[in-house]
Amino acid sequence: MTTHADTDRRHLARAIEIAEQGRGLVSPNPLVGAVIANGEGPIGEGFHRELGAPHAEVEAIRAAGDRDLAGATLYVSLEPCCHQGLTPPCTDAIREAGIARVVVASDDPSEHASGRGLGILRDDGVEVVLVDGDLAGRARLLNQPFRKHARTGRPWVLFKSAMTLDGKVATQSGDSKWISGESSRERAHHWRAECDAVVVGIGTALADDPLLTARLETPPPAARQPRRVVFDSLGRLPLDAQLVRDARRIPLTVVVSRAAPRAATDALEAHGVDVIVATGENEPARVCSALDQLGSAGIGSVLLEGGPHLAGAFLDAGEVDEVRLFLAPLILGGRTARDPLEGEGVEQIADAVRALTLDCERVGEDLLISARVKEW
């Protein structure tokens, strides 16, 4: 016999599932899915499709058409908003539709939310249920970038690298193309399309002259390109680099230190490059300064692609939230071959960063190891 709890669980799981369809399209807004049901059967569902478009709750109400929603239950993956942003408050739409019950998978930690929407609905006589358990956990994981940005003002950081079986990311001469296979590189381009920015250091920019764009060979094509960010303390990025030549089409930010020559930064800005000055007494401090400024500019997530020097500085700063490593069936050897992470590191195993979760899957000829380091 189907119970009330079973029905709630089924519809809420569906709301979380369809929320995923907005990935890479709605930032800095969160991913949200919604289902409306009257009895056991769903009568409308929707998700947040793009920034500035109606939210999931409104999409679900519209999908229900002319059906009477009085007494219906709304299942939503994130607490409904109660403030006027690019769209009106969802709490208004819920009340106007006559929905009697709202089941929510996760809270919204934003300053303008934090339970306010749920309180407004309760005050208006709507029954509100905030679930816990595995569905709540899934809903929170859905929006780690949004949650970190809401709580700290800094973007969520995904560190991606490709290494050999002996843990190397480049040969002694610096050659790294290509350690990972085509399937792995295609997956990485999807991650670029999903993140607000892709970040490299000046060493990578000088060695590879990359574009850092999301180039997808299988549909759907990238709906937007990430901002390209180069950490370049002395402003050494050449004006004829592909990144600079393309800066007026796809945004490029160069992060410099106070030691960067004014002539170099002025020349970059004259070519359409956004230059920000990171302050602090050491590299980890300057990483935090840069992330503060990127977060203030609306960047909610970054894909950190290295190289090892910059990745080590991010780790030392405590600003790596998730790690995805492609392990290729290659062995390089060489005492001076590059490791994926440099920086200061820790002196004791007890002080090592420990992953909260660890997953592994086959991607072409490679293994993809994914580890969440923090949960927001």
Q: What is the pLDDT of residues 219-274, one digit of tens each?
A: 555 557 999 999 999 999 999 999 999 999 999 999 999 999 999 999 999 999 99
* Helical H segments across 153-197, by residue range: 182-194
Q: State the catalytic residue, choosing from 20, 40, 50, 57.
A: 57
The strand pairing partners of 258, in sequence order, are: none
Residue 62: pLDDT band by 50, 70, 90 thresholds? very high
pLDDT at 223: 57
- At residue 87, the pLDDT reads 79
* CA nearest neighbour of 129 among 274, 15, 285: 15
Check residue 363 and give its pLDDT: 96
Read off the pLDDT of each residue in 161-175 and give the average, rounded to a whole number.
90
Active site (annotated) includes residue 342: no
Structure tokens at 231: 């950490």
**pLDDT in the model for residue 32:** 97
| Average pLDDT for 3-9 | 84
pLDDT average, residue stretch 3-27: 91
Mean per-residue pLDDT, 120-130: 92
pLDDT at 52: 87
> Which of 28, 23, 144, 43 is CA-nearest to residue 97?
43
Q: Please provide the CATH number assigned to the domain covering 4-142.
A: 3.40.140.10
Task: Please check whether residue 9 is in contact with residue 135, taking contact to mean a CB–CB distance below 8 angstroms.
Answer: yes
Lowest model confidence (mean pLDDT) among 107-121, 148-162, 201-215, 278-292 = 107-121
Distances in Å between the alpha carbon of 251 and those of 44, 224, 355?
38, 11, 33
3-state secondary structure 70-129: CCCEEEECCCCCCCCCCCCCHHHHHHHHCCCEEEECCCCCCCCCCCHHHHHHHHCCCEEE
Residue 227, both tokens: 């901002």
- Distance between CA atoms of 35 and 76, rounded to whole angstroms? 7
- Residue 112 or residue 294, greater confidence: 294
CA angle 253/321/180 to nearest 5° reads: 75
**Is the pLDDT assigned to residue 89 strictly greater than 70?**
yes
What pLDDT score was predicted for residue 1?
A: 47
Residue 33 bridge partners (DSSP): 47
Tell me the chain's radius of gyration from C-alpha atoms: 23
Judged against a pLDDT cut of 60, whether residue 140 lies above it is answered with yes
Is the per-residue pLDDT at 218 higher than 60?
no
What's the pLDDT band for 116 if we cut at 50, 70, 90?
confident
pLDDT tens-digit readout, 323-348:
999 999 999 998 888 889 898 999 99
Q: Which CATH class is domain 147-372?
A: alpha beta
Instruction: Return the DSSP state at 249.
Output: T
Segment 198-206 shows an average pLDDT of 95
> Mean pLDDT of all residues in the chain?
92
Q: For residue 216, which of 252, 183, 245 has the smallest C-alpha distance?
A: 183
**Window from 52-56, 131-135, 222-226, 230-234 with minimum mean pLDDT:** 222-226
Q: Domain spans of the chain?
A: 4-142, 147-372
